[in-house]
Structure 1
Amino acid sequence: MVEAIGNCCNSKILREMENLPKSSYPSILQSENLTKYILESSVYPREHETLKEIRNVTASYPMGFMISAPDAAQLIAVLLRLLNAKKTIEVGVFTGYSLLLTALTIPDDGKIIAVDPDRKAYEVGLPSIKKAGVEHKIDYIESRALPILDKLLEDPSNDGNFDFAYVDADKENYWNYHERFIKLIKIGGLIIYDNTLWGGTVALPEELVRGSLRKTRQDALAFNKAISSDTRVEISLVSIGDGFTICRRIH
């Protein structure tokens, strides 16, 4: 099974493009083979047993392909340790793979504010979170994210008070999230936005993109353009999973 949503989308797009000349699109098969190699050689051997449990149980859950890509999660863990992050926010939890990864990585007195309106999905991974002994680090809030972020900003003590944020939720609100996180995250802290390549569709002509993918493709294109011009952050758009935009706040 290919875990990343991007690979799922790429496979669907490839089927729609199978009558096109092969020179007109990248080799998706090669990409999947490389992902498989990366996962089997360097990700799965180091994956915590409880993360593996969430990944396996999510495989049979509706829309299970939305789980964070394990190789991308491995990168998050490295970045969290480089930051010595203790106080983080996660927007979009789903079954909790990236949330558990963060909870396992930050110190025992670290805290995560995790926001998602779908508690049913969160409870799929909750037994593994409890088994890992890290539930005390998590403040799960069943809600849409913008009202929670606005509430945090009402308290001046929250300005620049968070080390790290991970965003994997409604893509049309990425810029709205960004404007709030640029206040909540400390200078030198990181914000990561997932799915900014949207199955590779951002690099395709619109006429080759299936209708159901077009709206979010446009959202991704608009966000990618806006973030590239934001002088408040340093950025790196990394082609891992379905695309990670890593932002380091500098102003």
Structure 2
Amino acid sequence: MNALEKNQTWKVVNLPKGKSTVGCKWVFTVKYNSDGSLERYKARLVAKGFTQTYGIDYSETFAPVAKLNTVRVLLSIATNLNWPLQQLDVKNAFLNGDLKEEVYMDPPPGFSEKLRLNVCKLQKSFYGLKQSPRAWFEKFTTVVNRQGYRQSQANHTMFTRVSAKGKITVLIVYVDDIILTRDDLVEMDRLKQSLATDFEINDLGALKYFLGMEVARSKKGIVVSQRKYILDLLKETGISGCKPIDTPVE
């Protein structure tokens, strides 16, 4: 709630005549580290976007995400050129998008009395709204382009910048997870500071865990493993205790 109020996500108003509201609910999750240990508990207020009406509450919804092939190629290039790989995370990413439509939301459960039973007129995009991914990506693209980066036409989530001395900085984003690599240390630090003025950024240091992939780096190269992802799948399907067996060969 502090993050929502600090971000000026909504304005408390009386519901205008002829307008309807979108519901909302709290979603509680537990976030784990790549080794399975507890990282933190999360509480997120989410709008019930399934109650939105096309053409009234939203229009365009599409937002691109990074292709895994592009991520693997980027890891390979960074390894061969001995470039460092760094990871950033944007806190409450969807709350940064600019909402163009007029959307009203019910008061958050547990805060109805505090808001005097009025409704929330959303001023920023919100988790659960159908247009939120698109609004967030448009905002992020605008900010990065303003820093002199060019958006790739082959993969719209990859941005590159070539300095006057010919040094390259590459950024790739998957929703709110960002990978940075370069042969220009000064530019990387400058970009981090610039992004921090527009968004609340977590600098996670060297790349270790991205989209369910564990990344280990040594002088010999990079090893990518999906051990945790596979173990989670086995646990979810109830076969984590099964014994392995060789596949018969004819």
Normalised TM-score (structure 1): 0.25
Greater helix content: 1
Q: Which has the higher strand share?
A: 2
- TM-score, normalised relative to structure 2: 0.25
Which of the two has higher C-alpha Rg?
2
